[in-house]
Amino acid sequence: MTPLLCYKEQSFYPTVTLQPPWPQIYSGETVTVRCEIQGGEGAQWTYEWRPAKLNTPPTSSEYRITVTESDSGGYSCRGKRSFSWTKWSDTLTWSDSVTLTVSDNKPRPVLTVSPSWLSPGASVTLNCQVEHPSAGWSFYWYKAVPDLSEKSSSYELLPDGSGTAQDSYIIHGQTHTAGYVCRAGRGDPEYHTDHSQPKFVWSAGQFVSLSASLTVSPDRVQHFTSDSVSLTCEGNFTEWRVRKFSEDGRLSDCRRMMTGSTCNINTSKSDTGVYWCESGSGEFSSAVNITVQNDGNGPILVSPVHPVTEGASVSLSCSLKTQKILSNVFFYHNDKLIQNDTRGELKISAVSKSDEGFYKCQYSGRESAQSWMSVKGEQKHFMCFCK
């Protein structure tokens, strides 16, 4: 009797892969969708795809797609050799579905700078943050250059700032106010994000004599609501704008009309922020803080806007909106009570480095906000800001 021979049908397993395998793909990026037949390498296969729009003859084992949001969805494939479809089991011939997610929202990275205010010898570190930071991004670093004709800024690539693998960039020797921007790119051809919002590092003018300067009148950090404050840009330039970085992180031009090189503000709480001048030639002034007192019955500390030169004299005082000269005022330096008597002024005859710090005053149980007084010397200089 002749024995019967049994043959087991060979199964081949289709798999869909996406390259690059990033968790989020953006409209305009290029993606390769590939069907791989496991166990069927070297054979001649005819491919069928889901979705059916990939089945335009002649069908291929892979497609390179510049994607839009309409390409989002599940992708699966199967292969045919002679008259036999690939099998995962006796009943399944399609691969598992792989999902492609495409967003029409172009990403915008977030730039941070540290420190925000310059101090002697400190480097400035820029960090560019994107969604899914491990997903193949390289980074581009720019300096923001004022363009007053367009009421905006142009961007100049920083040295060695093109396509860095690191999401940080260090600037050495920074001595003046400047704005910075970043963006990211990935893929081939390279896809770019939008530029980040500009971020600024500020100098209070304690390093060098700048060709552009900003003066504030009245010359103090703190102001009452509805005070008239003038911000004037000075230097050998014909075009100016005054810029503000507000407490909530918004960047804006002086919201009042400029009269020549002066911006006049009738103060409100929203005017609290950091201010500086930008010239039509791309020069930045030093930066100053403006703090608007929201408590109509509370005092303000009268302190200088700009750094005080070491060895010079300075007077700090406390003022109410309805009464400019007060007595029996408490003065604090870095939250330590330093004067408590009938005098209404705190006088320092020869300022030294140890006098630098936060100051505030108290009158009739009400405290002012605190402001930073900076001290600058002939060789060593220190920053000025207010919180």
Cα angle value 20/24/28 (rounded, 5°): 75
Distance CA 233, CA 239 (A): 10
Q: What is the pLDDT of residue 119?
A: 76
Cα–Cα dist 386/332, whole Å: 15
pLDDT tens track of the chain, all 387 residues?
555 444 345 678 899 999 998 888 999 999 999 999 887 777 788 889 988 888 877 778 999 999 999 999 999 998 888 767 766 554 558 899 999 999 999 999 999 999 988 876 678 999 999 987 777 899 999 998 877 665 667 899 999 999 999 999 999 988 888 899 999 999 989 999 999 999 999 887 666 556 888 999 999 999 999 999 999 998 888 888 898 888 877 888 885 667 888 999 999 998 999 999 988 777 888 899 999 988 778 899 999 999 898 999 999 999 998 888 888 899 999 999 999 888 889 999 999 989 999 999 999 889 999 999 988 875 443 444 444
As a residue count, the chain comes to 387
Distance CA 239, CA 229 (A): 21
- pTM equals 0.76
As given in the structure block, the two tokens for residue 215 are: 């003066």
Q: Whose CA is closest to 375, among 224, 205, 244, 146?
A: 205
